[in-house]
Structure 1
C-alpha cells in the first residue's frame, strides 16, 4: 500500500457491487439476460483486486457478489441432466435482482430530476450535476470508470518499475492540494494532465487516492466526453 495508515472509505459516496456489475455489462455491451459469466467474473475480480490494493473500505458486499458470480460460473460448467424447460439458467440468480435494481435506479434518477414547487418530497437537481448542464456531450464519471482509466495508465508503466516505498514522494494530502491549486487557476483539467509523461506507479496510485478524496469532499467533479472518451476534472 502507498501509505500504511491510509484507507479510502466509500461510505455511500460511490457505487456498490450492483453498480460495478452494471458498469461491466455496459462496458462489454452485452444483454443482461445473456451475460457472459466467465468474462464478467474475471473483470469483476480484477476490479475487486484493485480496490483491495488501494485499501478501499467496505468491500465486503463486493466479495459477496464475487462469490455469487463464481458460483454461477461453476454451475454453468456442470453438465445438463434435463431439458432446457426443466432446468433454469443459473444466470437468472443474478439477472432477476439486476433487472429489478436497474428499474429502481432508473425510477430514482427520474424522480431526482423532477422540480416540484411546494413539495418537500422531491428536491431540486443537486449541484453535483450542474456542471454538466451546459454540455450535453458530457456524462458524469463514477468510481469504476476511474479505475478503468487508472488501469490503462498503469499498463503503460514498465513492469520492472515497482513501487518504491523508501523513496521520498508526495503524500495523498499534498497531491490533493496540488490538484486544487491547478483547478483554481484553470477551472478544469484533462485527466491525463495530472500525470507526467513517465509516471511512477506510486505517483499514479497517490493521484487516484487524492482524486477519490476530492470527489468525496465535493470539491471536484469528473466527467467524460461521450464521443472522444476524454475525461476532465472540474472544480466545484
Structure 2
C-alpha cells in the first residue's frame, strides 16, 4: 500500500534553500552553487524515498540551481570578455532569497505577538537525565531537520536486495498507537528507539509518517539540544487527553 501525506510545513523551495544556507553557515551573497545544489538534490531524493510527493515548485528550483551551476562552470567566451561584465548568474536567486527572508522575518515577529485564544503557557522544559549535556538548551526540531535525520537513517539501513513475500504490513495508525503506548511507560523517547534492530524501508517510511501525524495533532514534540544531535520525542503539554483523539485510518485519510 502506498501512503501519501500532504506536508504543510514545507513552505516552498526558497524556505528550503534558506534552511540549507543557514545550516551550512554560507554567505547568502556568495552562494557556493555546487555544494548547495548537491544538498538540495539530496534533500529532494530523501523526500521521494519517504514517499512524499515533491511539488513542482521544488523541482523547478532544482532545475534553476543546476542551470546556474552550469553557467558558472562554463568558460567565458571572447565576445563576453569584450563586452561589459555580465551579471552574476546567482544575482536573481539572491534577490529572491533576500526578499523572502524579509517577509519571513516580519511574519515571525508578528507571530510572536500575543494572540487571543492561541497562547498556552506550559511549565518549563526539563531535560532528561540520560542526556550528558545537562546545561545545553533544547530547541524544537523543524521539518527539515526531521527529514535530514530520516535521510541519514535510510543511508545507514539500506534496503536488502532480496525477494520478499508480501504480507500484512504495519499501518500508519498502528504505528501511531504504538508510539503513544510507549509514552505510557516512558517520559521521553529517543528517535532511534522507535525502530527495530534491522528496520526495512516500509517500517522507516511508516514511522516517519506516524511522527508527522503526531506532531500535526500536537500529541508529541520533537526536541534537539545540539546541531545534528539526537532527536528526542516528548508528549505535548497542550495536546489534551490523548485517549480522546480520533486516531484511526479513516480520520487520518489512510485507506
TM-score by length of 1: 0.81
Could you tell me how far 1:131 is from its partner in structure 2?
7.7
Compared with structure 1, are the counterparts of its residues 228 and 7 closer, same or farther at alpha carbon in structure 2 (3 Å cutoff)?
A: closer
Compared with structure 1, are the counterparts of its residues 123 and 226 closer, same or farther at alpha carbon in structure 2 (3 Å cutoff)?
A: farther
Q: Say how many residue pairs are matched.
A: 225
- 1: CA distance between counterparts of 2:165 and 2:25? 39
Give the gaps of 5 or more residues in structure 1.
Answer: 116-121
1:100 aligns with 2:99: yes
Could you tell me how far 1:226 is from its partner in structure 2?
2.5
1:102 counterpart SS class? helix
Residue of structure 1 in register with 2:19 after alignment:
23
Q: Which among 55, 64, 72 is matched to residue 59 of structure 1?
A: 55
1:13 aligns with 2:9: yes
Residue of structure 1 in register with 2:241 after alignment:
none
Residue of structure 2 in register with 1:50 after alignment:
46
Query: Are the aligned partners of 1:164 and 1:202 in contact in 2 as well (CA < 8 Å)?
Result: no
1:234 counterpart SS class? strand
Give the gaps of 5 or more residues in structure 2.
Answer: 128-135, 237-255
Could you tell me how far 1:221 is from its partner in structure 2?
2.0
Could you tell me how far 1:179 is from its partner in structure 2?
0.9
Larger radius of gyration: 2
Residue of structure 1 in register with 2:131 after alignment:
none
RMSD: 2.9
1:39 aligns with 2:35: yes
- 2: CA distance between counterparts of 1:83 and 1:233? 60
- 1: CA distance between counterparts of 2:197 and 2:72? 45
TM-score by length of 2: 0.76
- 1: CA distance between counterparts of 2:66 and 2:227? 34
- 2: CA distance between counterparts of 1:43 and 1:181? 36
Compared with structure 1, are the counterparts of its residues 155 and 143 closer, same or farther at alpha carbon in structure 2 (3 Å cutoff)?
A: same
